[in-house]
Homo-oligomer: A and B are copies of this chain.
Amino acid sequence: MAIEIERKFLVKDNSWKEGAAGKLYRQGYLSREKGRTVRVRRVEERAFLTVKGAGDGLSRPEYEYEIPVVDGQELLDSLCELPLIEKVRYLVLYAGMVWEVDEFLGDNRGLVVAEIELSSPDQRFEEPPWLGIEVTGDPRYYNSSLSREPFCGWAPG
């Protein structure tokens, strides 16, 4: 098991995007109960099956296994709950840290979320100028929630 410690933020503008190259992520859920999710994810020609346990908002136990891409595609097409989540993930380097910036598609279009993975909950990092408000632990922004209640239904403004 790995413990995933992550902080999640909205972004203020598109300046993070300059020069960044993204990859299409397609993912769905075989289970998205409160304390336990089972996710299938396809990223280009690779696929992963990931089990996540209950977290405290900031950290969650995570078990991730690579599976054959043909299996991943079949699981997405036939067994996962609909709708699937589609997003483009960009890796953005800032002050020596890697930010994962997810630009959502489909019913979640308009939502852009930046995540940083930390090695401890109190690890300090420099905030990039494009960083918006923190949404760590806000269940509306969980990918498993965005599948059931997409951003288009509750986007502010």
Contact = CB atoms under 8 A, between A and B. Distances in A.
Interface of A: 1, 30-31, 33, 35-36, 38, 49, 51, 53, 61, 63, 65, 67, 71, 74-75, 78-79
Stoichiometry, copies per complex: 2
A53 B79 contact: yes
Q: Which 5 A/B pairs are nearest by Cβ-Cβ distance?
A: A31-B31, A38-B38, A53-B79, A63-B71, A1-B74
7 contacts: A1-B74, A30-B31, A31-B33, A31-B38, A36-B79, A51-B75, A53-B79
A78 B63 contact: no
Contacts of A33: 31
A65 B63 contact: no
Contacts of A79: 35-36, 51, 53, 61
Contact of A38 (B30, B61, B74): B30
A75 B62 CA distance: 10
Nearest to A70: B1
A51 B30 contact: yes
A37 to B, nearest CB: 9
A65 B30 CA distance: 15
B38 A53 contact: no
A109 B3 CA distance: 37
A78 B49 CA distance: 18
B53 A78 contact: yes
Contacts of A38: 30-31, 38, 51
A140 to B, nearest CB: 23
